Amino acid sequence: MDCYYGEEIVKGLGIRYLPSTSGMRARGMRIGQPGLDEYNAYRDRASFPTVVRKSVDNLLGAMWRKPPQFELTPKLKPLLKRATTDGLGLEGLLLLINKEQLLRRAGLLCEVTDDGRPYLALYTAPTILNWNQSIRPLDGTQQLELVILDETSTQISMETFELSVVNQYSVMRIDPVTGTYKVAVFTKNFDPKQATWTIPNASGTTLQQLPFVFINTQHTQSSPEVPPLLGAADLALATYRKSADYEQSLHSCANPTFMVRGFIEGRQNSEGGEESIETGPGAILQVSESGGDAKYVEVSGNGLVEMRSGIELNLALASQEGASLLDSAGSRERESGSALQARIGSQTANLTVIADTGAKGLEDALKILARWVGDNPEDVKVIPNHDFMDVSISGQDALYWQQAKNLGFPISDESLHAYAVRRGVTVKTFKEETALLATEPVDMSLVSPTVANPSRPSGIATSPSLAAPKK
């Protein structure tokens, strides 16, 4: 998604995201023509908001507030530290998967080295060129039978230090006769008749399935989905276009056009040509007496306020699209923990689905590898984090619970302590907390002798206003 990579990429794509005006096209949009110069200035004055990148960063921060958990077979445990050829461990790989899920989608290819070491390769959406599924005749389920991947890369010459593009495409398919997984690599054309097919194996073990897993936002099927941040990207582009018009209008207001009507005296130089017109403080222009005039013509500026309001509205809507579940610390402090948890439950539902789908895709790939190297695939599990928000007990929550207890709500101190443990306030047991309370000095200024509750631990007072009313 181009919007994630920011202003330089979006502006570099020119009229794809910012169309030229009819006046620019009429004056020419080729190199050296005035229309192109006007368009470049029009584009350069505009601002492109970074709302998509910020949304992705914020959502990833929420998804990775706590690390995921991995359960692996003995032969797959080395993948915890090194799961890809470039040295990423499983955590780093899952982080990249989640990022691609937010932007588009991803794919995982399971491979085994010549010495039998399993590893994974991540492919982004643009590199997954084509695929096909078929129906298994035995059980009627779908199976992936073809995937074509773009593995084009750049290489540097150690003699000239120049970069060159190396085109390479991998075609993976299931043999229609034997049902075995096989691979061919193409560098020039896709002629299957000239392909050299190889059958990957791990210690002689081949596969009867294509070891590639699609990972979308909500499922691991091959069919693509609409990116979850497409709405934020559309609003960012709309803001970019409005910004260009707004800045163009400001530029026109700040740079009025000088207009002369009639003849200006004194413009003849010694060679018979005309001198340039001087304006500004101290300049004197003598125009012809018959209808002569000299003045500036400027844009009125009507509509600038509305244009600015439209830009601000688009930015607000784009931010809500991507990061509405991330509240400021101040707003969370003013809201009780129970209310916050209930409110964000629906807001984080989509984020939970994304986390679960990413974990399932990685787990499916790891199970393929486990089966390939002779381990039990049922011993593989990937458990994602679902704790996206800090909903620890606020001061308001603690006050409400203590008020309820003092007014007769049937709950024990031990139950309140268990609630505090679940909310991350303490990791100590109830006995450890009460033992520590017993050692703390009592501040008698906080104790009201008329309403002190003898059933409470020492040092904790009850406000007279919270005492049960007399009958």
pLDDT, tens digit, 9 for 90 and up, residues 188-214? 777 777 788 999 998 888 999 999 999
pLDDT 10s digits, 138-188: 677 788 999 999 999 998 988 888 999 989 999 999 998 898 999 999 987
Whole-number Å distance between alpha carbons of 366 and 79? 9
> Phi, psi (5° rounding) for residue 343?
-70, -40
- Burial (CB count within 10 angstroms: exposed 0-12, middle 13-18, buried 19+), residue 450: exposed
Summarised one tens digit per residue, pLDDT across range 410-433 is 999 898 888 888 777 888 898 998
DSSP H or E stretch at residue 323: helix 304-323
Q: Provide the residue ranges of all domains of the chain, joining segments of one domain with +.
A: 257-297, 398-466
- 208 φ/ψ angles, rounded to the nearest 5 degrees: -105, 20
Query: Cα(116)–Cα(133) distance, rounded to whole angstroms?
Result: 28
Confidence at 388, pLDDT banded by 50, 70, 90: confident
Region of poorest pLDDT, from 70-84, 264-278, 448-462: 448-462
Give 242-285 as a DSSP string. HHHHHHHHHHHHHSPEEEEESPEET-B-TTS-BPPPP-STT---
